[in-house]
């Protein structure tokens, strides 16, 4: 391999790492847009200059970008799960390698078709191919949409499109811009006008979004609990700590709604010390307050559940997690050997229904998600179809103790912020170790607890019962199918033009 080839591959690798750095939230996340657009532009430049290597460039880029974005899975597999280092690394690489084929195949098709279309359709084709890969990653084989490029723009002017087209629509626009920027950089005419044009576009996409805070709605006083119990001690020495601390905090809470993290109570109800559960339920029967807490549940017919239980609603309410974590909360029979390598293999959970009613209290509708369920905006959109019980507040309970002190906290907060922007609803999050926060309907983090401290976050949230956003409407009725159709239409049009342009050559 000569020096020129080494340089090409180094550029691809650096561009992929640059795009993954979005998760670090450098400068409070205000340069995330630039990191994403510039990183993807470098890949587009390589595809335009070396189309014969599109498959390998695209695949390597995607694998590195995804691997750096989700490296924290190693902590869960090795540090917490006890899986051997080599197998942990291999598992992550194989996961990202498999996901990388979506992008490699889509962008290889792009290089086959792009010369047959005009420049603007060419950029749309690049965006369509990239977005189709993102959609496939989000929906096929249970879906793993972490680090979709649209999240890089939660702070920027592109986020104005969130209530209309959602995170994947934003990703389409960002990919379009990346392709356009690549062509400008490759242009032989480096005029002053061209440089100004590039600078203006980069400034526009990275300019912080400014939104006026909505004051219409009903105020809720919230208390979000964060026990900071290590995952390695959660089911042994930390169990009693959890019981004692959460019980004490629930007894003295004065908030309208108090939220505990995912599996905050690490026991089934029938295993709790005598009188413990009755003490909690009695408090919320007599006082005008509610509590939402994470606890494992057991049904003789359905099996185990990763659940959120609501106290103080007149009757005990329960939400069961729908999007289970592959290999963490369920495992195909053919892969059971893999999870048995982990020390903390808890077996399979039962899957809840995709459309579960909100927890209704007074005039507030609490829409629950557990762990990474809030990545799937199309599932949340279904909850807005029944306009009589649309969510007024999103509540996410999570436990990122599995992933240690990593960028996963920033990534998950940006995901939650994007959901608030898409649906114009506030989000409150209670986590075990980090990311406990109050997020306004405008996607702004109003308050946040520091990571790795034990404490409670007390504040206010504006519960909104306003109309639904365009994204909530179309995604609620048709899921992500409209985006699939748009992208496939662009690709179909490019294929038609390609075949038409090839016909004269067949008669020569």
The residues that are catalytic are: 262, 321, 371
* Residue (of 207, 224, 167) closest to 420 by Cα position: 167
- Given a contact cutoff of 8 angstroms between Cβ atoms, the answer to whether 128 and 487 are in contact is yes
Question: In angstroms, rounded to a whole number, what is the distance separating the alpha carbons of residues 249 and 98?
Answer: 45
Phi/psi at 222 (5° precision): -120, 155
Q: What is the CA radius of gyration of the chain?
A: 24
Burial call 209-241: b when 16+ CB within 10 Å, e when fewer? beeeeeeebeebebbbbbbbbebbebeeebeeb
Distance of CA 63 to the CA centre of its chain: 18
Q: What distance in Å separates the CA atoms of residue 175 and residue 178, rounded to the nearest whole number?
A: 5
CA atoms within 13 A on the CB side of 252: 8
Residues 6+ apart with CB under 8 A from 391: 358, 365, 366, 367, 380, 383, 384, 423, 425
**Residue 394 contacts residue 426 (beta carbons within 8 Å):** yes
The residue ranges of DSSP E strands in 271-315, in sequence order, are 290-299, 303-311
Query: What CA–CA distance (Å, rounded) separates 470 from 474?
Result: 6
């Amino acid at each position: 391999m000569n020096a020129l080839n080494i340089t090409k591959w180094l550029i691809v690798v650096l561009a992929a790492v640059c795009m993954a750095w979005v998760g670090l939230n450098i400068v409070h996340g205000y340069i995330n847009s630039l990191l994403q657009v510039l990183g993807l532009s470098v890949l587009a430049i390589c595809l335009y200059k070396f189309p014969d290597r599109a498959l390998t460039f695209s695949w390597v880029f995607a694998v590195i970008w995804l691997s750096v974005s989700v490296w924290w899975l190693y902590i869960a597999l090795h540090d917490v799960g006890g899986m051997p280092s080599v197998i942990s690394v291999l598992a992550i690489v194989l996961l990202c390698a498999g996901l990388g084929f979506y992008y490699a195949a889509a962008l290889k098709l792009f290089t086959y078709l792009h010369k047959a279309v005009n420049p603007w359709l060419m950029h749309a084709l690049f965006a369509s191919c990239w977005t189709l890969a993102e959609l496939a990653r989000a929906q096929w084989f249970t879906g793993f949409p972490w680090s979709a490029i649209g999240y890089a723009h939660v702070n920027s002017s592109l986020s104005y499109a969130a209530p209309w087209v959602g995170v994947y629509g934003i990703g389409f626009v960002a990919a379009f811009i990346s392709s356009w920027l690549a062509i400008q950089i490759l242009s032989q005419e480096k005029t002053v006008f061209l440089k100004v044009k590039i600078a203006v576009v980069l400034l526009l996409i990275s300019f912080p979004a400014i939104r006026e805070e909505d004051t219409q709605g009903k105020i809720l006083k919230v208390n979000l609990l964060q026990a900071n119990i290590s995952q390695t001690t959660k089911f042994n020495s930390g169990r009693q700590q959890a019981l004692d601390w959460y019980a004490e905090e629930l007894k003295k809470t004065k908030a309208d709604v108090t939220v505990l993290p995912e599996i905050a109570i690490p026991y089934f109800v029938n295993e709790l010390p005598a009188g413990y559960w009755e003490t909690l339920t009695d408090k919320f029967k007599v006082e005008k307050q509610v509590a939402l807490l994470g606890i494992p549940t057991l049904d003789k017919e359905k099996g185990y559940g990763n659940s959120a239980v609501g106290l103080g609603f007149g009757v005990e309410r329960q939400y069961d997690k729908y999007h289970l974590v592959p290999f963490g909360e369920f495992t195909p029979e053919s892969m059971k050997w893999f999870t048995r390598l982990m020390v903390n293999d808890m077996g399979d959970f039962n899957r809840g229904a995709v459309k579960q009613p909100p927890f209704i209290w007074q005039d507030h509708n609490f829409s629950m998600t557990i762990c990474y369920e809030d990545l799937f905006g199309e599932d949340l959109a279904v909850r807005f179809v029944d306009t009589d019980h649309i969510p007024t507040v999103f509540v996410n309970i999570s436990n990122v103790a599995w992933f240690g002190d990593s960028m996963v906290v920033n990534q998950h907060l940006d995901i939650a912020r994007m959901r608030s922007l898409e649906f114009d609803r506030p989000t409150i999050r209670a986590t075990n170790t980090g990311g406990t926060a109050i997020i306004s309907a405008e996607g702004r983090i109003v308050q946040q607890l520091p990571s790795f401290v034990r404490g409670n976050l007390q504040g206010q949230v504006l519960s909104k019962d306003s109309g639904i956003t365009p994204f909530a409407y179309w995604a609620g009725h048709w899921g992500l199918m409209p985006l699939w159709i748009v992208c496939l239409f662009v690709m179909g049009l490019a294929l038609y033009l390609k075949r038409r342009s090839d016909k004269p050559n067949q008669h020569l």
